[in-house]
Each structure stands twice: as structure tokens, then as C-alpha cells.
Structure 1
Amino acid sequence: RALISVSDKNGIVAFAQGLIEQGVEIISTGGTKHALDKAGIKTLSIEEVTGFPEMMDGRVKTLHPKIHGGLLGRRDLPSHTEAMETENIQPIDFVCVNLYPFKETIMKPDVEIAEAIENIDIGGPSMLRSAAKNHEFVTSVVDPSDYEEVLSELRQYGHTSLSFRQKLA
């Protein structure tokens, strides 16, 4: 399972298609889901996973135990796998997130404070930290230039290697 939520949509359709070809189910949010759906790529919405709608103009989407439990749950610890089973939390193996373009936004000479505030990312960094903390099992993908290498590892090994996950984390 992969969760894809990106501000930079460059290459995301091909990456998602490559994941699907390797048997990976895609969860996506807001604009990312719209872009993937438009390209004919079947995705699950965050709401389908959490049972809770995106809300507050997209400010609250991924901050949910069914997301972070799926990222942080250690698959080698019975206490974690039992909790995941009890709470119907499915593991998430890949997180593909690019953060909102805060720096670029605040560098604009005419930027309004409201626009700057809306470009402070909360969910993205939280998911990346969860994935990095559990890099033994979860692959963090931030940079579109890494998409092909992720897919190459998947095609070659059926998963990403621990050393590669450590590098990306």
C-alpha cells in the first residue's frame, strides 16, 4: 500500500502507474487523487481508509490513527500487529509526499500572510517523520527524481531494500 499526497505533480501519474503494476494499492488525497483519477488511475481516498472526511479546506486529511498506525506499526512486533488487526489498520509501505512550497511562497514580494499560512504543511511532515521512524518497513519518497529508482527496486526485488529505505529516510 502507498499513500501519495504531493504538491509537485510532475511524474506522479507514471510513478503511481508503476506502483500499481507492481501490485501496490494507492491511497491519495485531495488534488493528488483528482490528478490520478483524471489519468485513469484507481485510488482510494483518505476518507475510504479513515472513515473520516477531509475537512477544514483540506487542513485535516491524514492526521489519523489509521494513517499513522499504518506507517508506524512495526510488522515484527506482535503487540503492534495485534493492535493493527484489532483496530483494522492496514500497513502502509510507501509514503510519497512533497511538502507545500512554503519557501517559494514567502519569497514572493506581494505574498499575503494568509497565503503564507496556508502553505505551512502539517500532515506531510508528520507522515514523512512516521515513515522515516519506521524505515525498516516503510519507504519515504519526497523527490520526484527518486520515483524511477523506487520502481526499479520494486521491479528487481519485489520490495525496496533496507539500505535504500534508510537512504530515502
Structure 2
Amino acid sequence: MKNIKKVLISVTDKKGIVEFAKGLQDFNIEILSTGGTASRLRDGGIHVTDVSDYTGFPEMMDGRLKTLHPKIHGGLLALRNDEKHMNAAAQHGIDMIDMVVINLYRFEDTVAKKDCTLEEAFEHIDIGGPAMLRAAAKNYKYVTVVTDPDDYPRVLKEMKE
């Protein structure tokens, strides 16, 4: 597995996330996180840097705007073997993000509720998560993507090997 120094964790399904983050910290990996995920990790004794502290830009619009920032997407999209990319990142204070741990809002669960309003459905359309997953996938040579909590033990095992 690639040399991972920084990971961004933003999950709806928090099953096993504290244990996984502890495993990542055993490798001295810095953890960035958002909102409820950051709170859960802190409650579990994990040192976390809030995305808003890293970007210098607060979460806003009732949580609609958290991770849509050049310091996040630049850190995911920069080609590590491209001098221009790395110079631009350095010039703008963009650190490389080597892994994303993301699972998306459960839109289908929301709209399946009998009393779900159109407004509630719209609020559960995930924007930042899919954008980060696509950015990471586009840069698959340098960014590891983890979406399924059942994969956490396997990822840690592979990192140890």
C-alpha cells in the first residue's frame, strides 16, 4: 500500500470507525475529519484535525459546505509525480491527502420514509462525499479509497504487510 501520511475521514456509517482510526494512528497518520465523524473519533480518543481548521474555512449553510475546498480537492487531485502540480500545491499550502474514508448519506433510507418531505429528501443529497470519491478515484495511483466499514480490517492488514 502507498505511503499514507494524511487521511480524510467523513462517514455516515460509523461502525468500526474508531478502531480503524486507531489503527491508522498506529502508523502516525494525520487524520482530517468533519462534523459528526470528528466528534465520534474524538470521543473514541482519536486526535483529529477538523477540516475547517485545516482549510481555514468554516462549515456553513447547515453543513452543506464542508469539504468543497481547494485544500481538500487539490490534496486529492495533485499528481505526486508532476512537478507543476506539486509546486502549485506548495505555493497554496495544500497538503497531499493519501486516503479517503467516506461513505455517503443514505438517501434511499431517507426517501423510503413514509413522511419524508421533498425538502428533507433534498437535504440528504450528498455533494461533498461523491466529489471527494471521484477526485480520489481520478488519482487512484496516489490516493487510497475506503468506503465499506467491512474493509477496515483488511486495509489495516495490508498496511502492516
TM-score bracket for the superposition, by shorter chain length: over 0.9
How many residues were matched structurally? 156
Aligned to 1:95, the other structure's residue is in SS state strand
Structure 2, unmatched stretches of 5+, are: 1-5
1:13 aligns with 2:5: no
Q: Deviations over 1:111-165 (max 9, x none)?
A: 1112111110000000000000001000011111111111111111xxxxxxxxx
1:143 aligns with 2:155: no
User: Which of 59, 66, 70 matches 1:65?
Assistant: 70
Tell me the residue number matched to 1:56.
61
Tell me the residue number matched to 1:166.
none
User: Which of 130, 133, 138 matches 1:133?
Assistant: 138
User: Which of 144, 151, 159 matches 1:154?
Assistant: 159
1:77 aligns with 2:82: yes
Report the Cα distance in structure 2 between the residues aligned to 1:147 and 1:29, rounded to whole angstroms. Answer: 19
Report the Cα distance in structure 2 between the residues aligned to 1:115 and 1:143, rounded to whole angstroms. Answer: 25
The structure with higher relative contact order (CA 8 Å, sep 6+) is 2
Percent identity at matched positions?
54
Instruction: Note the aligned Cα RMSD (angstroms).
Output: 0.7
Report the Cα distance in structure 1 between the residues aligned to 2:18 and 2:65, rounded to whole angstroms. Answer: 24
Q: CA deviation at 1:29?
A: 0.1
Aligned to 1:96, the other structure's residue is in SS state strand
Question: Hey, which bits of structure 1, 4+ residues long, moved more than 6 A?
Answer: none
Aligned to 2:119, the other structure's residue is in SS state helix
TM-score (norm 1): 0.91
Tell me the residue number matched to 1:112.
117
Q: CA deviation at 1:10?
A: 0.4
Amino acid in the other structure paired with 1:97: I
Structure 1, unmatched stretches of 5+, are: 157-169
Aligned to 1:84, the other structure's residue is in SS state helix
Amino acid in the other structure paired with 1:46: V
TM-score (norm 2): 0.95
Q: CA deviation at 1:74?
A: 0.6
Amino acid in the other structure paired with 1:30: G
Amino acid in the other structure paired with 2:124: N
Amino acid in the other structure paired with 1:134: N
